[in-house]
Amino acid sequence: MSEQETRITQLEEVIMHQAKTIDELSDQLTAQWKVVEETRYKLERLVERFMTLEEETAEAPANTRPPHY
């Protein structure tokens, strides 16, 4: 095999390795994005729940001592 053929083969190997790495990183990024979206959705639900509880608490009568104390 000539020197030029050897270099081309080495470059092809490097490109294939880089393509595999890019695919793996893309898969990881996709998985992490799903986690971010799930976390965002859960946070939005928790905020809504908290706001509802806060409104209910604000409407509740004040906790005062009964008149016989």
Summarised one tens digit per residue, pLDDT across range 7-59 is 999 999 999 999 999 999 999 999 999 999 999 999 999 999 999 999 888 77
Residue 39 in tokens: 């976390």
| Position 60 pLDDT exceeds 70 | no
CA 7 to chain CA centroid, nearest Å:
42
pLDDT given for residue 64 in this prediction: 73
- pTM (predicted TM-score): 0.62
Per-residue pLDDT at 39: 98
